Structure 1
């Protein structure tokens, strides 16, 4: 699990750090407090559609896919710079979709926890296009995380200097020097559109503030953190999470 290092705004004055260096262990024990539920029946998606195509943006600014009335709800708090989150995306996400979301038994909501200004830039960019692009773009960041984060080693000082710029220029410059604009442009988000989103100080500040408030309220101290039917678990990877979904009734 990657720990939340600072509050949502304090890190504007803190040095940029490589998230990989702060990544913790995925060997935590699984919380036994998820109650055992009766097996829930599969529910067909509307004709001609699949549940993984159904997207709802929640009041908490989470992006939920699946049956909106699924009896089992799964929420993940994740950082886009978190290697453990990337590991979950690469090792468990497809099985989660195929075996649990497509059946209509489980809905999956992804919420961002922000770990630094470069993380906030990424969280802003995955929201910059259509709502439906949020999950695919997030997955692209995680599946290419080494490529995404490697410029921090060579251009970290330049990104840090961007923090002295006016607020509507900070994230734009960070994304420029760290190669984020090129990365997202290769995936369909134009640089002009990306710059416009990154310059929207009101919007990106709201992302950071939601991260801070929700983390405080729900006790989310690092990523990934998973909630099943509103209960926080200690699962840090797919091998730990799947038995909890089955215990809740997805079997």
Structure 2
């Protein structure tokens, strides 16, 4: 994939001022349209957590970065850290695509146990990226647990692009056309606020759900 082939060129260049991401949308999707969680997914939380939250996001989407800054810490403390929820992160790259795909590749190629640390770095550093930072992607690579040669080999592996393409195709099948978008036990949540997600998780935890 072109974005992957350009990895080290992009890492070496300054990020020019570029466009914003896509806002969350409210189109309903059937639970059956959402691809099931597999061993290929990157998951945070207990494997046996009773509720699964799937997030489709882009590392260059400002709405996604805002969610991770303003909502994610409290959501993680209340639900993931307590074993009530496991969070599945899936990529839906947005414009600027080359940078979005490169960031997705860096996260994907990181050691699995480092994925969410790298994701945090990418979201936290996103404002600096839009301000022209030269270090946004390099900082993420430094946290990946991989050497530069390992990262390069992973980017050149067709399976890496294939996995991200599969996540994009899965998002399309589920009717996702904006980021961030969340599903709670397969049910799409139009409002990604803490109150809305909490209500959906609490409802999913009730007997009979």
Tell me if TM exceeds 0.5. yes
- Contact 1:61–1:111 (8 Å) recurs in 2: no
Give the CA deviation at 1:125: 0.5
Identify which of 119, 137, 143 aligns with 2:124: 143
Identify which of 169, 174, 193 aligns with 1:213: 169
Give the CA deviation at 1:192: 3.2
Note if 1:108 corresponds to 2:83. no
- Equivalent position of 2:138 in the other structure: 182
Identify which of 50, 56, 76 aligns with 1:71: 50
Name the SS of the counterpart of 2:109 in structure 1.
coil
Note if 1:230 corresponds to 2:209. no
Q: Deviations over 1:103-159 (max 9, x none)?
A: 22211111111222211111111122310111110011101111234449xxxxxxx
Q: Which sections of structure 1, spanning at least 5 residues, go unmatched? A: 1-7, 10-15, 35-57, 153-177
The verdict on how the C-alpha distance between 1:77 and 1:60 changes in structure 2, with shifts beyond 3 A counting, is farther
Give the CA deviation at 1:60: 7.1
Runs of 4+ in 1 over 6 A off after TM superposition: none
Q: Deviations over 1:18-77 (max 9, x none)?
A: 342x443x6x77x8x99xxxxxxxxxxxxxxxxxxxxxxx52732112221222111111
The verdict on how the C-alpha distance between 1:111 and 1:212 changes in structure 2, with shifts beyond 3 A counting, is closer
Structure 1 or 2, whichever has the larger Rg, is 1
Number of residue pairs the alignment of both structures matches:
185
Query: How many Å separate the matches in 2 of 1:123 and 1:223?
Result: 14
Q: Deviations over 1:194-213 (max 9, x none)?
A: 3333333x134213421331
- Equivalent position of 1:157 in the other structure: none
Query: So what's the TM-score if we normalise by structure 2?
Result: 0.73
Identify which of 49, 61, 67 aligns with 1:88: 67
Query: So what's the TM-score if we normalise by structure 1?
Result: 0.62
- Contact 1:19–1:82 (8 Å) recurs in 2: no
Note if 1:249 corresponds to 2:205. yes
Give the CA RMSD over aligned residues. Answer: 3.2
Identify which of 101, 104, 121 aligns with 1:123: 104
Note if 1:198 corresponds to 2:179. no
